[in-house]
Amino acid sequence: MARKQKKEKKEIVYAPIVYQPITETIEKNYMPYVMSVIVSRAIPEIDGLKPSHRKLLYTMYKMGLLTGGRTKSANIVGQTMKLNPHGDASIYETMVRLTRGNATLLHPLIDSKGSFGKQYSSSMAASASRYTEAKLDPICHELFAGVEKNAVDMIDNYDATMKEPVLLPTTFPNILVMPNMGIAVGMASNICSFNLAEICDGTIALLRKPKLPVEKMMELVKAPDFSGGGVILYDAEEMKKIYTTGSGSVRMRARYVYDKENSCIDIIQIPYSTTIELIIAKLTALYKEGKIKEITDFRDEIDLSGFKLTLDVRRGTDPEKLMAKLFKLTPLEDSFRCNFNVLINSTPRTMGLIEILHEWIAFRLQCFKRELKFDLKKKKDKLHLLLGLGKILLDIDKAIRIIRKTEKESDVVPNLMKGFDIDEIQANFIAEIKLRYLNREYILNRLAEIEDLQKEIADMEETLKDELKQKAVIIQQLTEIKKKYGQPRRTQIMAAGAVKEYNEEEHVENYPARFVLSRDGYFKKITFQSLRGNDEQSFKDGDEQLELMDGQNTDNLIFLTNRQQLYRAKAEDFDNTKASALGDYLPVKLHMDPDEKPILMNIQNKYPAKENIVFIFENGKGVRISVANYETTGNRRKLTSAFSKASPVVAAFYEKAPMELLLTASDGRAILIKSSLIPIMSTRTSNGVQLMTLKKGEKLVAATADTAHIPEDAKGLKKVKIPAAGVLLDKK
């Protein structure tokens, strides 16, 4: 027999549990992540760019795409990964938003070819990067001006194989021209775009007068300007708040054109903060609910010419009233929530428009001075060389003789230095001059530059000492940028007070109507014009009329059900029908619960405290509840616990004045009482008081306010006190 091999048991060694205080976990693990998201990802800096934008644009700049032709987007994405290792998909998404084709920016930074989707549509996606092409837009000259002149600091990329700028030395306040949204940890940023020409004017005014009043700034920079156009409902106080604090809300509306001939409304611009899909989804829901009966059809007609959403409307519809209604009920009117949170020296700060411009001016002055120092050094170096060249002008033959007689090449520079009393840099420059240039004419022409250079250097040094001169240069640059790139406003401005707000009652066609409710829950709204031909009501077999009342199409209706619930509806929500039709089935129309049906209907435009609802229950009890108890502050369509559920309800009556009620028990006995005998309870769910004494096993089966058929001499039927015993109706 083979021996059974004993399996060796491996000893499991568990790592010791190390306890770490939560404060230490947050400090060492969570806080570095938080700071990384805030500083290196989500919040834009004073140049108007997030790190992902800056890395992409700088890569394209180094690829020569500022002046050259377009290249495949896939090539750009691949090159950008040298600076941004977060994956090709996220890089391409960043690129798409900056393109001319996507229409997100007032001044696109990337000139694109191919399908890049649209900002106003969530379903129009960009083509894959291998199918599209791009290059930098000409306005990027203003972003990179000075980047080669040490205008900004350069740092290593993530693997220290190349350098990248910390910021771009943009020559205009791109932070307020380029819209930006970012969500960090514990904070967010949402910056709207402003018109470039207006921002240049505002910045120039601030350069000239640092303590410019906010009212003057509001005259120059009128309001935000969005790439999608639309209309801003201008609120001066809210705008002032945005300009001073950086927080506030901008209300926007769509722009439309009414085509009377084709009876349609063409919406040509929508708020920047919404999409056509959201609008269509809301229109679809409203259409199904019957709230926009004026519209027969709507469709997306976006094409190469731009945005268009067409609404087909019924003949005779007032387009202004319809649009006022749609502005109220759909995202055709929306708000842009401003939160001007910007990184300043790696510190997030929420600032108003004026403060942001002050920070940009300080940043731009610093960049300009660094550029000026760079140019100044270049010119001083050139002057230094020319001054050395001037010394050999005195004896060109001597310079040639020194070079010719020097035996070793390495001794040429030292011998020139000794022969003309010049330094090594000057000597190297002279030694490198071609033999053909060692003539008096060439040297005199070069020396003529010395005077101009000295004057330029003096001007530069003077400018470096004088901030007013620096500001004057920046003002000149901004003026040229405005002239070169400025555009008319795309977003119109309309005073918020001049806009007539939507009033639902004003937009509802009003006319007299008759309301009919059956016991099985069928509701009919019949115009009086329809009743002229036939006023005989039709019902299903076994069904009968429960309520009939005359009112207006603008009336509000309430329906109480056997499940202790109250439903509110508007008469306009129901279609007109004929007396011969069955009408709308309320349990479906009002989304009632299973086996729920109405027991009372009333026109309820107001809720007067002196009017009551009377409830009669199977256990012989009854209660009056003031109708004021059913009034709510909100527009609630359904109210639960409308009355007591201690006993099944037999009937409900609306009491404007005391009425006589006939209550009938299952044994045939009845009483006739005044509704005023029933006490009014302050609580809706009160069980009430006993109205009729019932024998064991008996219950109330009917209650009616129709007492016309009862003989006046019915003995013992009328009661003046409760509770009361019933009498048989056939015994007088």
Name the residue with higher pLDDT: 711 or 202: 202
The per-residue pLDDT for 368 is: 96
The per-residue pLDDT for 505 is: 59
Report the mean per-residue pLDDT for the chain.
Answer: 90
Q: Is the pLDDT of residue 491 over 80?
A: yes
Contact 154, 160 (CB under 8 A): no
Q: Is the pLDDT of residue 386 over 90?
A: no
What number is the average pLDDT over the span 702-709? 84
Classify residue 634: in a domain, yes or no: yes
Domain shared by 510 and 444, yes or no: no
Distance CA 394, CA 388 (A): 11
What number is the average pLDDT over the span 702-729? 83
Distance CA 352, CA 362 (A): 16
Domain shared by 545 and 678, yes or no: yes
The answer to which of 106-115, 320-329, 702-711 has the lowest mean pLDDT is 702-711
The answer to which of 10-24, 328-342, 671-685 has the lowest mean pLDDT is 10-24
Domain shared by 723 and 581, yes or no: yes
723 preceded by cis ω (within 30°)?
Answer: yes
Tell me the three-class secondary structure of 674-724, residue by residue. EHHHCCEECCCCCCCEECEECCCCCCEEEEECCCCCCCCCCCCCECCCCCE
Domain final residue, candidates 109, 142, 170 = 170
Domain shared by 533 and 658, yes or no: yes
3-state helix, strand, coil in the chain (%, to 5): 35, 25, 40
Q: Which two tokens stand for residue 333?
A: 């009117």
Q: CA dist 381 to 374, 386, 442, Å?
A: 11, 9, 19
Give the confidence band of 1 by pLDDT, cuts at 50, 70, 90: very low
Domain shared by 516 and 548, yes or no: yes
Report pLDDT digits (tens) over 324-357.
Answer: 999 999 999 999 999 999 999 989 999 999 999 9
Q: Is the pLDDT of residue 622 over 80?
A: yes
The per-residue pLDDT for 242 is: 96
Distance CA 716, CA 212 (A): 92
Cβ-count burial 236-256 (b if 16+ within 10 Å, e if not): eebbbbbbbebbbebbbbbbb
The per-residue pLDDT for 732 is: 42
Classify residue 577: in a domain, yes or no: yes
Q: Is the pLDDT of residue 607 over 70?
A: yes
In which domain, by residue range, is 290 found? 255-331
Which amino acid would we find at residue 28? Answer: K
Report pLDDT digits (tens) over 630-672.
Answer: 998 777 889 999 999 999 999 999 999 999 999 999 988 999 9
Which amino acid would we find at residue 373? Answer: K
Give the confidence band of 730 by pLDDT, cuts at 50, 70, 90: low
- CATH code assigned at 657: 2.120.10.90
Domain shared by 513 and 460, yes or no: no
Contact 227, 102 (CB under 8 A): no
Classify residue 67: in a domain, yes or no: yes
What number is the average pLDDT over the span 372-376? 95
DSSP 576: B
The per-residue pLDDT for 323 is: 92
Report pLDDT digits (tens) over 549-604.
Answer: 999 988 999 999 999 999 999 998 898 898 888 999 999 999 999 999 999 999 99
Domain final residue, candidates 441, 458, 485 = 485
The per-residue pLDDT for 7 is: 53
pLDDT-above-70 percentage for the chain: 97
Q: CA dist 125 to 60, 92, 101, 122, 309, Å?
A: 23, 12, 11, 7, 19
What is the Cα Rg of the chain in Å? 42
The answer to which of 251-255, 300-304, 338-342, 438-442 has the lowest mean pLDDT is 438-442
Domain shared by 533 and 651, yes or no: yes
Number of domains in the chain: 4
The per-residue pLDDT for 181 is: 92
Q: Is 185 buried (19+), middle (13-18) or exposed (0-12) by CB count in 10 A? A: middle
Report pLDDT digits (tens) over 195-228.
Answer: 999 999 999 999 999 999 999 999 999 999 999 9
Top mean pLDDT of 84-93, 135-144, 299-308, 718-727 is at 135-144
**Is the pTM here over 0.85, yes or no?**
no
Domain shared by 546 and 629, yes or no: yes
DSSP 42: I
Q: Is the pLDDT of residue 71 over 60?
A: yes
Contact 279, 309 (CB under 8 A): yes
Q: Using CA atoms of 393, 396, 400, 405 in order, give the dihedral in degrees to the nearest 10.
A: -100
- CATH code assigned at 166: 3.90.199.10
- CATH code assigned at 377: 1.10.268.10
The per-residue pLDDT for 533 is: 65
Name the residue with higher pLDDT: 391 or 487: 487
Helix (H/G/I), strand (E/B), else coil: 94: helix
Classify residue 200: in a domain, yes or no: no
**Taking Cα atoms as reference points, which of 712, 714, 708 lies closest to residue 731?**
714
Classify residue 346: in a domain, yes or no: no
Domain shared by 471 and 520, yes or no: no
Domain shared by 464 and 533, yes or no: no
Domain final residue, candidates 290, 311, 331 = 331
Classify residue 33: in a domain, yes or no: no
Classify residue 184: in a domain, yes or no: no
Domain shared by 553 and 688, yes or no: yes
Top mean pLDDT of 22-31, 38-47, 174-183 is at 174-183
Give the confidence band of 444 by pLDDT, cuts at 50, 70, 90: confident
The per-residue pLDDT for 674 is: 92
Domain shared by 582 and 720, yes or no: yes
Could you tell me whether strands 255-259 and 522-527 are parallel, antiparallel, or unpaired per DSSP bridges? unpaired
Q: Is the pLDDT of residue 30 over 90?
A: no
- CATH code assigned at 316: 3.30.1360.40
DSSP string, 510-525: --EEEEEEETTSEEEE
Distance CA 20, CA 80 (A): 40
Classify residue 537: in a domain, yes or no: yes
Give the confidence band of 2 by pLDDT, cuts at 50, 70, 90: very low
Report pLDDT digits (tens) over 461-488.
Answer: 999 999 999 999 999 999 999 999 999 9
Question: Which residue numbers are catalytic?
Answer: 131
Q: Is the pLDDT of residue 9 over 80?
A: no
